[in-house]
Amino acid sequence: MMSVVLTPRRAGDVETAIGNKLLSRDKAEVCGWQAALRTAEIERVVILDHSEAGADQVDLVLVYGAATPSAAGRCARWGITRRDEAIQLWRCDDGAALGVFRSMRAALTAVETQVARLRASGAWRGLAAE
């Protein structure tokens, strides 16, 4: 079962890209994406909203693979953040940059591509009990 966890943001969320803060439309795209997702490899999506923590804190979207719970001290498989007008995607286990995109939807599509590649190569380890 997949879940999305949203941390609250204050009223007055502005729809202009300012530094490293996610826009409301970014969050809406994440929620719509996870609702339509049809893969067992993605277990959970977490949106960390640091709007009250100051400008130096980064809002994050963390995508967890199946059998990789954060509670067990394991990290998410992919991370996504906004940098002004760009969306950055990286692999969490080694920090490798996987791309810079013009929209959250494009970054999420790249996550789907990563899952498909791992599945096709037999390298997907997220489904095995660890």
Q: Give the mean pLDDT of 57-63.
A: 82
Residue with tokens 């640091």, as numbered in its chain: 50
Q: Give the mean pLDDT of 29-35.
A: 89
The pLDDT of residue 60 is above 80: yes
- Quick: pLDDT tens for 110-123: 999 988 888 888 76
Contacts of 71 (CB under 8 A, 6+ apart): none
**What is the β-pairing status of strands 42-48 and 3-6?**
parallel
- Quick: pLDDT tens for 73-82: 567 889 999 8
Rounded-to-integer distance, Cα 81 and Cα 125, Å: 25
The pLDDT of residue 102 is above 90: yes
Residue 4, strand partner residues: 45
pTM for the whole structure: 0.73
The percentage of the chain sitting over the pLDDT mark of 70, rounded to a whole number, equals 67
pLDDT of residue 11: 39
The pLDDT of residue 21 is above 90: no
pLDDT of residue 80: 93
> What are the residue boundaries of the structural domains of the chain, listed by start?
3-8+17-121
pLDDT band at 106, cuts 50/70/90? very high
Where is 46: in which H helix or E strand?
strand 42-48
